[in-house]
Amino acid sequence: MSNRTRDLRRLLARVLDVLMPQDCLVCGEAAEGCGVCAACLAEMPRRPPSACPVCALPGLDGGPCGQCLRQPPAYDATLALFDYVFPVDVLVLALKYRHQLSVATFLAAELRTLGEQIAADVDFILPMPLHARRLAERGFNQAVELARPLAREQALPMELACVRKLRDTPPQASLSREERLLSPAGAFRCDRALDGLHVLVVDDVMTTGATLDELARCLKAQGAARVTNLVVARTPAPA
Ligand SMILES: [Zn+2]
Ligand SMILES: [Zn+2]
C-alpha cells in the first residue's frame, strides 16, 4: 500500500470515527460520549490501591513488594490504571493495531484520572519510544496518543525526540518470561543531558517491566534523578 493510500485510509477512519454515533467499545450498546457505557465502565478492572508503588504488582498494604526490595528496578515508581485483562486487552489491541481513535480518547481520558497522583516535580513526559520501522508500519505511536491529552492538562512538556529506540524488540507477549527479562538490554539511546530531572514515562501496557526498566536505566545514565512510569494496564502478577 502506498503512503498516500495509507494516509487517505487513516483520514477516512478519523472522519468516520467523528461522524458515527458512539457505541460502547466493549459491549456495543449505546454509550454516551466517553466511548464505554456506564455498565462496562463500572466493571473495568481497576488496580487496587494496595499495589506496590514501585512496580504496581500486588504489594503489602501499599509498601514496596519483596521483589522491588530485593532487586530495585531502575525506575522509581509506577502508576497503573487497569489490570491487563478483558476488556482492557481488547481495547489496547484495538488502539495499537486498528488505530481506533475513540479508544485512544477513552484511555487517555481514563489515564488523566491519575493526574492528581502525578508528582508536582515532574519535568517532562516521555511517551515510550517506538522503533522507527514499527512507527513507519503503524503510522503512529500509541503512547504518544495516550500522553498528549495528559501533557496538555498537566501543562507539562512532552519530549518526543530525546530518546530513540535502537533495536526493534519483538512484542513482549511472544517471548517466554526469561526471554522477556533479557531482551531489551541496550535497546534505547538518549543523547540529552537529564541532570536532576524527573521523567514521567507513559506507555500502554507494562508486562514484565523489563522494557521500562531498560528505558529508566538509559535515562538515569543521562543523569535523570527520578523516573516514574504511568501505564494504562499492568499484567497481573504471574501465578
Ligand atoms: Zn458497554
Ligand atoms: Zn514491586
Q: What is the pLDDT of residue 23?
A: 82
pTM of the model: 0.85
Q: What is the pLDDT of residue 156?
A: 94
Q: Is the pLDDT of residue 57 over 80?
A: yes
Cα distances from 4 to residues 1, 7, 11, 99, 105, in angstroms, run: 8, 5, 10, 17, 25
Looking at all shown ligands, the one closest to residue 35's CA atom is 1
Q: What is the pLDDT of residue 139?
A: 87
Q: What is the pLDDT of residue 73?
A: 97
Alpha-carbon distance of 164 to 204, in angstroms, equals 18
Alpha-carbon distance of 134 to 81, in angstroms, equals 25
Looking at all shown ligands, the one closest to residue 37's CA atom is 1
Q: Is the pLDDT of residue 230 over 90?
A: yes
| Distance from Cα 154 to the centre of ligand 2, integer Å | 26
Closest-CA residue to 109 (of 140, 144, 141, 150)? 150
Question: What is the residue whose three cell numbers read 466493549?
Answer: 26
What φ, ψ does residue 203 adopt, rounded to 5°?
-145, 165
Contacts of 36 (CB under 8 A, 6+ apart): 24, 25, 26, 44, 106
Q: Is the pLDDT of residue 82 over 80?
A: yes
Per-residue pLDDT of 94-116, as tens digits, reads: 888 777 778 888 898 888 888 88
Task: Quote the mean pLDDT of the chain.
Answer: 85
In the structure, what pLDDT confidence band is assigned to residue 236 with cuts at 50, 70 and 90?
A: confident
Looking at all shown ligands, the one closest to residue 87's CA atom is 1
Q: What is the pLDDT of residue 216?
A: 97
Question: What is the residue whose three cell numbers read 502525578?
Answer: 118
Alpha-carbon distance of 174 to 172, in angstroms, equals 5
Range with the poorest average pLDDT among 12-26, 205-219, 224-238: 12-26
Instruction: Give the three cell numbers for residue 61.
Output: 498494604
| Distance from Cα 5 to the centre of ligand 1, integer Å | 33
Q: Is the pLDDT of residue 117 over 80?
A: yes
Q: What is the pLDDT of residue 238?
A: 65
| Distance from Cα 6 to the centre of ligand 1, integer Å | 30
| Distance from Cα 225 to the centre of ligand 2, integer Å | 19
Mean pLDDT for 113-137 is: 91
Looking at all shown ligands, the one closest to residue 54's CA atom is 2
Per-residue pLDDT of 37-48, as tens digits, reads: 889 989 999 988
Count of residues for the chain? 239
Alpha-carbon distance of 150 to 105, in angstroms, equals 11
Looking at all shown ligands, the one closest to residue 57's CA atom is 2
Question: Are the C-beta atoms of 172 and 203 separated by less than 8 Å?
Answer: no
| Distance from Cα 34 to the centre of ligand 1, integer Å | 11
Beta-strand ranges (E) seen in 129-223 are 163-165, 188-190, 198-206
Looking at all shown ligands, the one closest to residue 91's CA atom is 1
Q: What is the pLDDT of residue 100?
A: 74
What φ, ψ does residue 125 adopt, rounded to 5°?
-100, 130
Contacts of 120 (CB under 8 A, 6+ apart): none
Per-residue pLDDT of 143-201, as tens digits, reads: 999 999 899 988 999 999 899 998 876 665 555 665 555 556 678 999 899 999 999 99
Alpha-carbon distance of 142 to 123, in angstroms, equals 21
Per-residue pLDDT of 7-44, as tens digits, reads: 777 676 666 555 555 688 888 888 876 688 889 989 99
Question: Are the C-beta atoms of 45 and 83 separated by less than 8 Å?
Answer: yes
